[in-house]
Structure 1
Amino acid sequence: MDTINKYIAVDYQLYIVEDGKPHLIEKTNADKPFVFISGLGMTIEGFEKVVEPLEKGGEFDFILSPEEAYGAYNDERVVNLSKEIFSINGHFDHDNIYIDAVVPLQNEDGNRFLGRVVAINDDDVRIDLNHPLAGKELNFKGKVVETREATNDELQSMLAHMSGEGCGCDDCQGDCGSKHEKEGGCGCGCGHCH
Protein backbone atom coordinates (compact mmCIF):
# COMPACT_ATOMS: atom_id res chain seq x y z
CA MET A 1 0.00 0.00 0.00
CA ASP A 2 1.36 3.44 -0.97
CA THR A 3 1.87 6.06 1.69
CA ILE A 4 -0.35 9.10 1.26
CA ASN A 5 1.48 12.39 1.74
CA LYS A 6 -0.90 14.83 3.36
CA TYR A 7 -0.86 18.61 2.96
CA ILE A 8 -1.42 19.81 6.53
CA ALA A 9 -1.85 23.37 7.80
CA VAL A 10 -1.96 23.99 11.54
CA ASP A 11 -2.55 27.04 13.70
CA TYR A 12 -0.56 26.45 16.88
CA GLN A 13 1.17 27.85 19.93
CA LEU A 14 4.48 26.40 21.10
CA TYR A 15 5.40 26.57 24.76
CA ILE A 16 8.65 25.54 26.47
CA VAL A 17 7.90 23.86 29.77
CA GLU A 18 10.38 24.99 32.45
CA ASP A 19 9.96 24.27 36.15
CA GLY A 20 6.52 22.87 35.34
CA LYS A 21 5.36 26.17 33.83
CA PRO A 22 4.69 26.82 30.13
CA HIS A 23 6.31 29.84 28.43
CA LEU A 24 4.97 30.85 24.99
CA ILE A 25 7.83 31.08 22.47
CA GLU A 26 6.13 30.83 19.07
CA LYS A 27 2.68 31.07 17.57
CA THR A 28 1.03 31.11 14.19
CA ASN A 29 -2.45 32.23 13.25
CA ALA A 30 -5.17 30.84 11.01
CA ASP A 31 -4.31 33.37 8.25
CA LYS A 32 -0.66 32.25 8.15
CA PRO A 33 -0.59 28.70 9.50
CA PHE A 34 2.40 26.37 9.60
CA VAL A 35 2.20 24.18 6.49
CA PHE A 36 3.94 20.87 5.93
CA ILE A 37 3.56 17.67 3.93
CA SER A 38 3.54 14.49 5.95
CA GLY A 39 6.02 11.73 5.30
CA LEU A 40 8.86 14.01 4.16
CA GLY A 41 10.58 14.46 7.52
CA MET A 42 9.81 18.20 7.58
CA THR A 43 8.66 18.33 11.18
CA ILE A 44 9.55 16.70 14.47
CA GLU A 45 8.46 13.08 14.17
CA GLY A 46 6.46 13.23 17.42
CA PHE A 47 4.61 16.36 16.22
CA GLU A 48 3.68 14.75 12.90
CA LYS A 49 2.63 11.51 14.59
CA VAL A 50 0.03 13.36 16.69
CA VAL A 51 -1.19 15.86 14.06
CA GLU A 52 -1.23 13.74 10.87
CA PRO A 53 -4.28 11.57 11.77
CA LEU A 54 -6.43 14.57 12.86
CA GLU A 55 -9.27 15.88 10.70
CA LYS A 56 -9.79 19.53 9.74
CA GLY A 57 -10.77 21.42 12.90
CA GLY A 58 -9.18 18.78 15.11
CA GLU A 59 -7.54 20.22 18.20
CA PHE A 60 -4.33 19.10 19.87
CA ASP A 61 -2.48 19.73 23.12
CA PHE A 62 0.52 17.50 23.75
CA ILE A 63 4.00 17.56 25.27
CA LEU A 64 7.18 16.20 23.70
CA SER A 65 10.17 15.33 25.86
CA PRO A 66 13.59 16.67 24.76
CA GLU A 67 14.37 13.21 23.35
CA GLU A 68 11.15 13.28 21.28
CA ALA A 69 11.83 16.85 20.14
CA TYR A 70 15.33 18.27 19.45
CA GLY A 71 17.37 16.00 21.70
CA ALA A 72 19.41 16.68 24.79
CA TYR A 73 21.61 19.74 25.04
CA ASN A 74 25.17 18.69 24.21
CA ASP A 75 28.07 20.76 25.62
CA GLU A 76 30.36 19.29 22.95
CA ARG A 77 28.36 21.17 20.31
CA VAL A 78 29.64 24.50 21.67
CA VAL A 79 32.85 25.24 19.76
CA ASN A 80 35.43 27.96 19.35
CA LEU A 81 36.04 29.09 15.76
CA SER A 82 38.82 31.38 14.60
CA LYS A 83 37.85 35.02 14.18
CA GLU A 84 39.35 34.84 10.68
CA ILE A 85 36.32 32.81 9.57
CA PHE A 86 34.16 35.84 10.33
CA SER A 87 36.38 38.43 8.66
CA ILE A 88 35.73 40.31 5.44
CA ASN A 89 38.73 41.81 3.67
CA GLY A 90 40.81 41.24 6.79
CA HIS A 91 38.36 42.95 9.16
CA PHE A 92 36.15 41.20 11.71
CA ASP A 93 32.44 41.44 10.75
CA HIS A 94 31.11 43.33 13.82
CA ASP A 95 27.85 44.16 12.02
CA ASN A 96 26.75 40.52 11.76
CA ILE A 97 28.76 38.72 14.45
CA TYR A 98 27.62 39.72 17.94
CA ILE A 99 26.36 37.96 21.06
CA ASP A 100 23.15 35.97 20.34
CA ALA A 101 23.43 36.47 16.57
CA VAL A 102 22.36 33.38 14.63
CA VAL A 103 24.81 32.86 11.79
CA PRO A 104 24.80 30.50 8.81
CA LEU A 105 27.77 28.14 8.73
CA GLN A 106 29.02 25.43 6.39
CA ASN A 107 31.32 22.48 7.09
CA GLU A 108 33.96 20.87 4.85
CA ASP A 109 31.33 18.55 3.34
CA GLY A 110 29.18 21.50 2.21
CA ASN A 111 26.47 20.89 4.84
CA ARG A 112 24.79 24.11 5.96
CA PHE A 113 23.59 24.78 9.48
CA LEU A 114 23.04 27.60 11.95
CA GLY A 115 24.99 28.49 15.06
CA ARG A 116 24.38 31.05 17.80
CA VAL A 117 27.20 33.35 18.91
CA VAL A 118 27.68 32.99 22.67
CA ALA A 119 31.02 34.79 23.14
CA ILE A 120 33.53 36.85 21.17
CA ASN A 121 37.09 36.54 22.43
CA ASP A 122 40.38 38.08 21.28
CA ASP A 123 41.18 35.28 18.82
CA ASP A 124 37.99 33.27 18.42
CA VAL A 125 34.20 33.24 18.43
CA ARG A 126 32.33 30.75 20.63
CA ILE A 127 29.43 29.23 18.72
CA ASP A 128 26.59 27.06 20.08
CA LEU A 129 25.61 24.52 17.43
CA ASN A 130 22.81 22.96 19.48
CA HIS A 131 19.29 23.51 18.20
CA PRO A 132 17.83 26.47 20.17
CA LEU A 133 15.24 24.10 21.64
CA ALA A 134 17.64 21.25 22.48
CA GLY A 135 17.07 19.98 26.01
CA LYS A 136 13.64 21.60 26.19
CA GLU A 137 10.28 19.99 26.88
CA LEU A 138 7.83 21.31 24.26
CA ASN A 139 4.07 21.77 24.57
CA PHE A 140 2.17 22.21 21.29
CA LYS A 141 -1.42 23.49 21.40
CA GLY A 142 -3.57 24.26 18.41
CA LYS A 143 -5.83 22.98 15.68
CA VAL A 144 -5.73 21.67 12.16
CA VAL A 145 -6.75 24.36 9.66
CA GLU A 146 -6.53 22.12 6.60
CA THR A 147 -5.68 18.50 5.88
CA ARG A 148 -5.94 16.64 2.59
CA GLU A 149 -3.91 14.56 0.20
CA ALA A 150 -1.02 16.61 -1.19
CA THR A 151 -1.02 17.25 -4.92
CA ASN A 152 1.98 16.32 -7.09
CA ASP A 153 2.71 20.04 -7.59
CA GLU A 154 2.75 20.61 -3.82
CA LEU A 155 5.06 17.64 -3.33
CA GLN A 156 7.43 18.89 -6.04
CA SER A 157 7.38 22.42 -4.59
CA MET A 158 8.11 21.17 -1.10
CA LEU A 159 10.91 18.88 -2.29
CA ALA A 160 12.43 21.81 -4.22
CA HIS A 161 12.31 23.90 -1.06
CA MET A 162 13.91 21.13 1.00
CA SER A 163 16.75 20.84 -1.52
CA GLY A 164 17.45 24.58 -1.22
CA GLU A 165 15.67 25.77 -4.34
CA GLY A 166 13.26 28.13 -2.56
CA CYS A 167 10.01 27.54 -0.73
CA GLY A 168 7.81 27.00 -3.77
CA CYS A 169 5.07 29.30 -2.47
CA ASP A 170 5.17 31.56 -5.56
CA ASP A 171 5.01 34.68 -3.37
CA CYS A 172 8.79 34.95 -3.21
CA GLN A 173 9.51 33.27 -6.56
CA GLY A 174 11.91 30.86 -4.85
CA ASP A 175 13.90 33.71 -3.31
CA CYS A 176 12.73 33.40 0.29
CA GLY A 177 16.33 33.27 1.54
CA SER A 178 17.13 36.81 0.52
CA LYS A 179 13.63 38.01 1.39
CA HIS A 180 14.09 36.46 4.82
CA GLU A 181 17.27 38.46 5.36
CA LYS A 182 15.76 41.73 4.11
CA GLU A 183 12.12 41.54 5.17
CA GLY A 184 11.85 38.79 7.79
CA GLY A 185 10.37 36.27 5.33
CA CYS A 186 8.36 36.46 2.17
CA GLY A 187 5.14 36.90 4.14
CA CYS A 188 3.27 34.28 2.17
CA GLY A 189 2.36 32.05 5.10
CA CYS A 190 3.98 29.05 3.43
CA GLY A 191 5.63 28.18 6.72
CA HIS A 192 9.10 27.85 5.24
CA CYS A 193 10.59 31.32 5.24
CA HIS A 194 10.97 31.89 8.97
Structure 2
Amino acid sequence: MKIVDDCLVTLEYTLKDDDQNILDSSEQMGPLDYVHGYRQLIPGLEKALAGREVGESFSLTVPPQQGYGEIDPRAVFEASRSQFPPEAQLEVGMEFETSGHHVVITEIDGDIIRLDANHPLAGKNLHFDIKITGVRDATPEELEEVQQVFAGCSCGSDQGGCGGCSGCH
Protein backbone atom coordinates (compact mmCIF):
# COMPACT_ATOMS: atom_id res chain seq x y z
CA MET A 1 0.00 0.00 0.00
CA LYS A 2 1.32 3.42 -0.97
CA ILE A 3 1.22 6.41 1.38
CA VAL A 4 -1.75 8.60 0.47
CA ASP A 5 -4.03 10.94 2.41
CA ASP A 6 -5.90 9.28 5.29
CA CYS A 7 -3.28 6.54 5.77
CA LEU A 8 -1.79 5.88 9.18
CA VAL A 9 1.98 5.75 8.64
CA THR A 10 4.58 4.39 11.06
CA LEU A 11 8.17 5.61 10.73
CA GLU A 12 11.54 5.07 12.32
CA TYR A 13 13.72 8.15 11.88
CA THR A 14 16.81 10.06 12.88
CA LEU A 15 16.98 13.85 12.49
CA LYS A 16 20.38 15.58 12.28
CA ASP A 17 21.60 19.13 11.77
CA ASP A 18 24.22 20.28 9.24
CA ASP A 19 27.00 19.18 11.62
CA GLN A 20 25.47 15.68 11.85
CA ASN A 21 24.44 16.18 15.49
CA ILE A 22 21.38 14.07 16.30
CA LEU A 23 18.46 16.36 17.16
CA ASP A 24 15.72 13.73 17.47
CA SER A 25 15.36 10.02 16.89
CA SER A 26 12.77 7.30 17.14
CA GLU A 27 15.37 5.35 19.13
CA GLN A 28 14.56 7.63 22.07
CA MET A 29 10.90 8.41 21.37
CA GLY A 30 9.75 5.19 19.71
CA PRO A 31 8.38 4.91 16.18
CA LEU A 32 6.27 7.80 14.94
CA ASP A 33 2.66 7.26 13.88
CA TYR A 34 0.91 10.01 11.93
CA VAL A 35 -2.06 10.34 9.59
CA HIS A 36 -0.89 11.47 6.15
CA GLY A 37 -2.45 14.57 4.63
CA TYR A 38 -3.21 16.53 7.82
CA ARG A 39 -0.04 18.62 8.11
CA GLN A 40 1.14 16.76 11.18
CA LEU A 41 4.67 16.84 9.76
CA ILE A 42 6.71 19.63 8.24
CA PRO A 43 5.78 20.09 4.55
CA GLY A 44 9.06 18.84 3.07
CA LEU A 45 8.93 15.59 5.02
CA GLU A 46 5.26 14.86 4.36
CA LYS A 47 5.71 15.58 0.64
CA ALA A 48 8.72 13.21 0.46
CA LEU A 49 6.70 10.41 2.08
CA ALA A 50 3.77 10.58 -0.37
CA GLY A 51 3.60 7.56 -2.63
CA ARG A 52 6.20 5.52 -0.72
CA GLU A 53 5.61 2.04 0.74
CA VAL A 54 6.41 -0.12 3.77
CA GLY A 55 10.05 -1.20 3.88
CA GLU A 56 11.42 1.83 2.04
CA SER A 57 14.36 3.62 3.62
CA PHE A 58 15.72 6.92 2.43
CA SER A 59 17.62 10.03 3.44
CA LEU A 60 16.24 13.50 2.93
CA THR A 61 17.41 17.06 3.51
CA VAL A 62 14.60 19.52 4.17
CA PRO A 63 15.56 23.20 3.70
CA PRO A 64 14.16 25.82 6.09
CA GLN A 65 11.47 26.90 3.61
CA GLN A 66 9.97 23.38 3.73
CA GLY A 67 10.67 22.90 7.45
CA TYR A 68 10.15 25.53 10.13
CA GLY A 69 10.80 28.53 7.91
CA GLU A 70 13.53 31.11 8.02
CA ILE A 71 14.31 32.99 11.22
CA ASP A 72 11.77 35.80 11.55
CA PRO A 73 13.36 38.93 13.04
CA ARG A 74 9.86 40.05 14.14
CA ALA A 75 9.80 37.09 16.55
CA VAL A 76 12.78 38.55 18.45
CA PHE A 77 11.64 41.19 20.91
CA GLU A 78 12.40 42.85 24.21
CA ALA A 79 10.47 42.87 27.47
CA SER A 80 10.96 44.67 30.73
CA ARG A 81 12.03 42.69 33.81
CA SER A 82 8.89 44.07 35.49
CA GLN A 83 6.78 41.92 33.12
CA PHE A 84 8.05 38.76 34.87
CA PRO A 85 7.15 37.56 38.36
CA PRO A 86 9.50 39.22 40.88
CA GLU A 87 10.70 35.86 42.22
CA ALA A 88 11.57 34.49 38.75
CA GLN A 89 15.27 33.66 38.38
CA LEU A 90 15.78 34.62 34.73
CA GLU A 91 18.75 33.20 32.84
CA VAL A 92 19.92 33.24 29.22
CA GLY A 93 18.71 30.03 27.57
CA MET A 94 15.63 29.73 29.78
CA GLU A 95 12.63 28.47 27.82
CA PHE A 96 8.95 28.96 28.56
CA GLU A 97 5.51 29.22 27.00
CA THR A 98 3.69 32.53 26.75
CA SER A 99 0.43 33.12 24.90
CA GLY A 100 0.81 29.69 23.32
CA HIS A 101 4.29 30.41 21.92
CA HIS A 102 7.60 28.83 22.84
CA VAL A 103 10.02 31.60 23.87
CA VAL A 104 13.73 31.57 24.79
CA ILE A 105 15.62 34.24 26.70
CA THR A 106 18.61 35.15 24.52
CA GLU A 107 20.03 38.14 26.40
CA ILE A 108 19.62 39.96 29.71
CA ASP A 109 20.81 43.56 29.87
CA GLY A 110 19.81 45.05 33.22
CA ASP A 111 16.02 45.37 33.16
CA ILE A 112 15.76 44.55 29.45
CA ILE A 113 15.12 40.89 28.56
CA ARG A 114 15.59 39.88 24.89
CA LEU A 115 13.31 37.02 23.82
CA ASP A 116 13.15 34.84 20.72
CA ALA A 117 9.88 33.18 19.72
CA ASN A 118 11.22 31.54 16.55
CA HIS A 119 10.93 27.76 16.43
CA PRO A 120 14.25 26.28 17.65
CA LEU A 121 14.74 24.68 14.21
CA ALA A 122 13.84 27.78 12.16
CA GLY A 123 16.53 28.65 9.63
CA LYS A 124 18.07 25.18 9.75
CA ASN A 125 18.47 22.44 7.19
CA LEU A 126 16.97 19.22 8.57
CA HIS A 127 18.64 15.92 7.61
CA PHE A 128 16.38 12.89 8.01
CA ASP A 129 17.10 9.18 7.74
CA ILE A 130 13.70 7.48 7.38
CA LYS A 131 12.46 3.89 7.38
CA ILE A 132 8.77 3.29 6.70
CA THR A 133 7.63 0.43 8.93
CA GLY A 134 3.85 0.58 8.51
CA VAL A 135 1.16 1.94 6.19
CA ARG A 136 -2.56 1.22 6.54
CA ASP A 137 -5.88 2.97 6.18
CA ALA A 138 -6.57 5.10 9.25
CA THR A 139 -9.63 4.03 11.21
CA PRO A 140 -12.65 6.36 11.35
CA GLU A 141 -11.75 7.07 14.99
CA GLU A 142 -8.15 8.02 14.08
CA LEU A 143 -9.39 10.31 11.30
CA GLU A 144 -11.90 11.98 13.61
CA GLU A 145 -9.20 12.54 16.25
CA VAL A 146 -6.71 14.12 13.84
CA GLN A 147 -9.42 16.28 12.27
CA GLN A 148 -10.47 17.58 15.69
CA VAL A 149 -6.90 18.30 16.80
CA PHE A 150 -5.90 20.16 13.65
CA ALA A 151 -9.21 21.93 13.16
CA GLY A 152 -8.52 23.59 16.50
CA CYS A 153 -4.87 24.41 15.76
CA SER A 154 -4.25 27.99 16.80
CA CYS A 155 -0.48 28.09 16.50
CA GLY A 156 -0.71 30.33 13.44
CA SER A 157 1.84 28.22 11.60
CA ASP A 158 1.74 28.21 7.84
CA GLN A 159 4.78 25.91 7.82
CA GLY A 160 3.13 22.55 8.38
CA GLY A 161 0.77 22.37 11.30
CA CYS A 162 1.58 22.56 14.96
CA GLY A 163 4.39 19.98 14.81
CA GLY A 164 6.73 19.24 17.62
CA CYS A 165 10.43 19.89 17.95
CA SER A 166 11.33 18.16 14.72
CA GLY A 167 7.95 17.82 13.17
CA CYS A 168 8.07 14.22 14.16
CA HIS A 169 7.18 13.97 17.83
TM norm structure 1: 0.69
Q: Render the CA deviation track for 1:21-80: whole Å, top value 9, x for unaligned.
A: 422211113982122211111111110011232212211201111212112223332111
Match in the other structure for 1:93: 88
8 A Cα contact 2:38 2:150, kept in partner: no
Q: Distance in 2 between matches of 1:63 and 1:92?
A: 44
> Which AA in structure 1 matches 2:15?
L
Q: Distance in 1 between matches of 2:116 and 2:29?
A: 34
CA deviation after TM superposition for structure 1 residue 113, in Å: 1.3
Identity of aligned residues (%): 25
Indicate which of 28, 31, 34 corresponds to 2:32: 34
Match in the other structure for 2:101: 113
CA deviation after TM superposition for structure 1 residue 162, in Å: 4.1
- Of residues 7-16 and 116-125 in structure 1, the stretch that sits farther from structure 2 once superposed is 116-125
Q: Distance in 1 between matches of 2:101 and 2:40?
A: 15
Unaligned runs of 5+ in 2: 154-165
CA deviation after TM superposition for structure 1 residue 120, in Å: 2.6
Q: Distance in 2 between matches of 1:162 and 1:102?
A: 25
Q: Distance in 2 between matches of 1:137 and 1:32?
A: 23
Aligned residues: 154
- Of residues 146-155 and 117-126 in structure 1, the stretch that sits farther from structure 2 once superposed is 117-126
- Give the SS at the match of 1:22: coil
CA deviation after TM superposition for structure 1 residue 127, in Å: 0.9
Match in the other structure for 2:139: 151
8 A Cα contact 2:106 2:115, kept in partner: yes
Higher RCO (CA 8 Å, separation ≥ 6 residues): 2
Match in the other structure for 2:17: 16
> Which AA in structure 1 matches 2:66?
E
1:57 aligns with 2:62: no
Where do 1:77-88 residues align within 5 Å?
A: 77-87=75-85
Aligned residues: CA RMSD: 2.8
- Give the SS at the match of 2:60: strand
CA deviation after TM superposition for structure 1 residue 163, in Å: 6.2
Unaligned runs of 5+ in 1: 107-111, 166-190
Where do 1:164-175 residues align within 5 Å?
A: none
TM norm structure 2: 0.78
